[in-house]
Structure 1
Amino acid sequence: MFIPMFTSRLFWKPFVYFSILITLVSLIGGYTTSKWQNDQLKEQLRARLRDTAISLEDVARKSLVSGDFAHVQDIIQKINAQTKVRITVVAEDGTVYADSDKDPQVMENHAGREEIIKASQNSEGDSERFSDTLQIGMVYYAFRIEHQGEILGYVRSALNTSAINDQIADIQLRIVKLVFIVVILGLLMTGIVISRMTRPVVQLIEEARELTSAQLGKTVEHGFDDEISELSRLLNELSSALADRMAQLEQNHHELLTVLEGMDEGVIAVDENERIRFANEAVCEMFDLDLQRDQGRPIWEVIRFQMVETVINQARKTSEHFRGEMELLGPPVRFLALDASSIPTQEKDASGIIIVVHDITEVRRLENMRRDFVANVSHELKTPLASIQAYAETLIDGALEDQDNNRNFLNRIVEQSERLHLLIQDLLSIARVESSTQTTEYSVVNVTEVVEKCIQYHQPRAKKKSISLEVNSPQGVAIYGEPEGIRQILDNLVDNAIKYTPENGTVSVDVQTQEKQVILKVNDSGIGISEEHLQRIFERFYRVDKARSRELGGTGLGLSIVKHLVNAFGGTIEVTSNPDQGTSFIVTLPRAEAGQPTVPTDS
């Protein structure tokens, strides 16, 4: 536990602070002591110089009064020999009359010396400077000599500072050593005290780290009977609470991901920097994303559509829901609706955005179909109604009395009425097969019987055009479906084949069986269909030749009804054709299985 403790900031922070404090206090104490010792030595030196100068006051006064300086010169030289104190007698004007170290005659005027100026003002003065005469550092003291209230001159004493500097250096060295020892001892004591104080906390931190790296809910045990014990107890409670909370969050997160991944709508979330944070499977399929590859990348770098950037900017700008629509050119062409909302954060100017993408391609297709259907129904209904109205008005206006033409007009009214009746029947049929609420009872249907009855029904029309109707069907072939629906499929296909096959042509119905399927083929030798029309012939009201179709009495809904019925029965329908080479419709339906209920074809 010592290694993590001495690498812990909890130990080093107070240790560094206290180390700096101890070092500063020791340095300040050492500096203060050194300065105090320095001041004491200099004060002792000044006192010595003062005593020496004052002791020569009387001798110097007599010499200055009498003008005889030989006696005072002799005295100051003896004192200098004993005490090493340099003594100088200076006149009031600064002239040097006696000096223990130098010839007074060659010495310059001393009136400008600092200690002399101070003494002239305050009776005594001192200074410390480098001596130009002796070329060494000196400490000076000057004492003013007066006689009967008149200044006669000054006695100046001086000592070389080298001796005192040596003493000061020795004292400072001792103080430095003492400070170093105090700092070292202080650091050791600080380390010991701080380690004893922080060891329980460091140990608790290590166990808490083990707790987070292992598993939440683990308890921390301590034998301390102080605040650390209370902290351990609180940590255990926190660990238990966090374990419960994390389990709940993980469950919620898993449930949310399950919901998002199961949505048909695409969901994509970006942060405040427009970087992708989440995208569900649906949106990845829509925009060809790979979440592992694209997570963290800017959305404008991955999805390069202006509408995506627009809804993000608008949602962030207004902090409200914003909706936009866009088109993916494909193939296939897809229409998408984007609903963007900002995600609130603590920062007002920065928020993430969540975008829900709805695939409205089918909605758009149905809208277009509905619009086209309404337009086509209106047109198809208006044509026979307009004809009926025109013929009726003609009869009312007098044609009824025209014996040569009135019957012809009445026949036309009947024809248009029949056309209108067929159109309404087909509309009801397609509405029935498209209705999600329509319930149909499926059963086993004998296809052979349905085919035979269909051929019998259309035989008179075929004979009128000298068209040969052929049937190739084994007996007992059955499928699982709705009898009326199967009849309607065959009826529409055979009816179309007869309509668009010229005289002396052939129309055949072939029934083939496979293991689980029954294949119905309606072939004709008619006018055929060009390739550009094949993809659209199952659309409602679509006619290859509109004029010819109306002339033959077609409503344009037959093949659409056939396709819806085939799809409802779980089958498929295909068509192959070439102009002037006939057409072949191939219907594949599931074969009836044993045990399924059977319904007669005439029910």
Structure 2
Amino acid sequence: MRDLALIFTIALVAALAIGLAGALLLRRLRRRSITVHLCVLLAVTVLAVVGGVVAVAEAMFLSPHDLEVVLIAVAAAAVVSLAVGGHIGRRLAAAAVWADQARERERHIEKGRRDLVAWVSHDLRTPLAGLRAMAEALEDEVVRDPETVGEYHRRIRIETDRMTRLVDDLFELSRINAGALRLSLTAVALGEVVSNALASTAPLAAARRIRLVAVESGWPTVAASEPELARVVGNLLLNAVRYTPEDGTVRIEAGRELDTVWLAVTDTCGGISPADLPRLFDVAFRGETARTPGQGTGGGGASGGLGLAIVHGLVEAHGGHVDVHNTSGGCRFVVRLSAA
């Protein structure tokens, strides 16, 4: 028993010495990746075993041949341990990166949710206050002349329609984010969709003296769901008209490249800040300056800040891609979808 205790003590002292050196090394490498830490830990463990074996061999006067055999066996085990440790370390590092990305996405989504609630609250509070004031004025007969009463009725209808569009956009966006949007793809004549969108946008463009420019023929056929594609084109045109100064121009064109159809809407809004371009399709993003619906420059949308987010979601639901870049005096939105 005394011999066994002596062997244990010698091996323990050697292992402790190597373990202490490994702990100091890990402390110096604390900023390195988890893979490095795991490999160092396994290497220290193997070296501790080797140190104990060598110390005991020297104390027991083992032959060089026996010591060599033992060390070869330990080296083989070390190779396997380090290989497994490196693999596990890489898996753990990838999992840590994925977890960090998931947390970042969660923070981004939560911030977007808070911004959306604040934005909707603001954009609903203003028209509701106006509706209440006009309704009370009509109810109390503060205004009586037919012309003013008619104007109040017209404004009430306009504000009600705008809030209805806002609620519709919120519902559409919730379907997109929840993955509940189911598309039935068919061969859609892009020219007909563009023609209808131009007809819907023409009154607003005429009121602001904005020219709508589009070719009359040569429109390709795209594989898409027609209602959602109409929403995409309509939102892009409405966005361009709203944020283009008076006497400006909005141009819509399309073409085909191999199996891809592209649709471009170009305006003369003056351009968008490069810092805002990556966030232009975020929900309720308004750019550097806050603005009321229907005013300002830059990336607004069908309901102030939802139109472009809906465009992005619908295009991705089609398996396509939408991007935006500045041009001379304005910006250009490009949608790419599969050709029919």
**TM-score under structure 2 normalisation?**
0.65
Alignment partner of 1:577 is 2:326: yes
1:291: how far off?
8.1
- In structure 2, how many angstroms separate the alpha carbons of the residues matched to 1:542 and 1:455? 25
What residue is the counterpart of 1:495 in the other structure? 238
What residue is the counterpart of 1:525 in the other structure? 268
Mapping of residues 454-533 of structure 1, within 5 Å: 454-472=197-215, 475=218, 477-533=220-276
What residue is the counterpart of 2:314 in the other structure? 565
The unaligned stretches of length 5 or more in structure 1 are 1-271, 277-285, 299-333, 338-357, 593-603
SS of match in other structure, 2:280? coil
Q: Deviations over 1:378-414 (max 9, x none)?
A: 2222222122112212222332425563333333222
Contact 1:399 1:406 in 2 (8 A): no
1:555 to 298, 304, 313: 304
What residue is the counterpart of 1:542 in the other structure? 285
Contact 1:473 1:510 in 2 (8 A): no
Residues 510 and 294 (structure 1), Cα distance of their counterparts in 2 relative to 1, 3 Å cut: farther
What residue is the counterpart of 2:42 in the other structure? 296
Q: Deviations over 1:321-362 (max 9, x none)?
A: xxxxxxxxxxxxx7958xxxxxxxxxxxxxxxxxxxx94333
1:588 to 329, 336, 340: 336
- In structure 1, how many angstroms separate the alpha carbons of the residues matched to 2:211 and 2:138? 41
- In structure 2, how many angstroms separate the alpha carbons of the residues matched to 1:577 and 1:436? 31
- CA RMSD in angstroms comes to 3.3
1:521: how far off?
0.7
Aligned length: 256
**TM-score under structure 1 normalisation?**
0.38
- In structure 1, how many angstroms separate the alpha carbons of the residues matched to 2:201 and 2:145? 36
- In structure 2, how many angstroms separate the alpha carbons of the residues matched to 1:468 and 1:436? 37
What residue is the counterpart of 2:186 in the other structure? 443
Structure with the bigger RCO (C-alpha within 8 Å, sep 6+) is 2
Contact 1:537 1:559 in 2 (8 A): yes
Contact 2:222 2:338 in 1 (8 A): yes
What residue is the counterpart of 2:158 in the other structure? 415
Q: Deviations over 1:271-293 (max 9, x none)?
A: x99x99xxxxxxxxx95635884
Q: Percent identity?
A: 29
SS of match in other structure, 1:456? helix
1:377: how far off?
2.2
- In structure 2, how many angstroms separate the alpha carbons of the residues matched to 1:476 and 1:549? 32
Contact 2:231 2:311 in 1 (8 A): yes
1:484: how far off?
0.9
Residues 511 and 412 (structure 1), Cα distance of their counterparts in 2 relative to 1, 3 Å cut: same
- Higher strand content, 1 or 2: 1
Mapping of residues 273-292 of structure 1, within 5 Å: 287=33, 289=35
Residues 486 and 409 (structure 1), Cα distance of their counterparts in 2 relative to 1, 3 Å cut: same
Q: Deviations over 1:69-102 (max 9, x none)?
A: xxxxxxxxxxxxxxxxxxxxxxxxxxxxxxxxxx
Letter in 2 for 1:363: E
Alignment partner of 1:428 is 2:171: yes
SS of match in other structure, 2:279? coil
Alignment partner of 1:377 is 2:120: yes
Residues 513 and 574 (structure 1), Cα distance of their counterparts in 2 relative to 1, 3 Å cut: same
1:517: how far off?
0.9
1:474: how far off?
5.2
- In structure 2, how many angstroms separate the alpha carbons of the residues matched to 1:517 and 1:359? 32
- Higher helix content, 1 or 2: 2
SS of match in other structure, 2:192? helix
- In structure 2, how many angstroms separate the alpha carbons of the residues matched to 1:293 and 1:396? 79
Mapping of residues 133-282 of structure 1, within 5 Å: none
Contact 2:321 2:337 in 1 (8 A): yes
Residues 510 and 288 (structure 1), Cα distance of their counterparts in 2 relative to 1, 3 Å cut: farther
- In structure 2, how many angstroms separate the alpha carbons of the residues matched to 1:289 and 1:362? 24
Contact 2:292 2:304 in 1 (8 A): no
Letter in 2 for 1:543: R
Letter in 2 for 1:503: E
Whichever of the two has the greater Rg, that structure is 1
- In structure 2, how many angstroms separate the alpha carbons of the residues matched to 1:508 and 1:531? 22
- In structure 1, how many angstroms separate the alpha carbons of the residues matched to 2:207 and 2:235? 18
Contact 2:283 2:306 in 1 (8 A): yes
SS of match in other structure, 2:246? coil
- In structure 2, how many angstroms separate the alpha carbons of the residues matched to 1:335 and 1:402? 66
Contact 1:542 1:556 in 2 (8 A): yes
Residues 380 and 465 (structure 1), Cα distance of their counterparts in 2 relative to 1, 3 Å cut: closer
1:577: how far off?
2.3
- In structure 2, how many angstroms separate the alpha carbons of the residues matched to 1:432 and 1:393? 36
1:509: how far off?
0.8
The unaligned stretches of length 5 or more in structure 2 are 1-18, 24-31, 45-96, 297-301
What residue is the counterpart of 1:240 in the other structure? none
Q: Deviations over 1:293-344 (max 9, x none)?
A: 445269xxxxxxxxxxxxxxxxxxxxxxxxxxxxxxxxxxx7958xxxxxxx
- In structure 2, how many angstroms separate the alpha carbons of the residues matched to 1:468 and 1:365? 38
Segment of structure 1 superposing worse, 463-472 or 512-521: 463-472
Contact 1:543 1:549 in 2 (8 A): no
Contact 1:513 1:519 in 2 (8 A): yes
1:550: how far off?
4.3
Contact 1:470 1:508 in 2 (8 A): yes
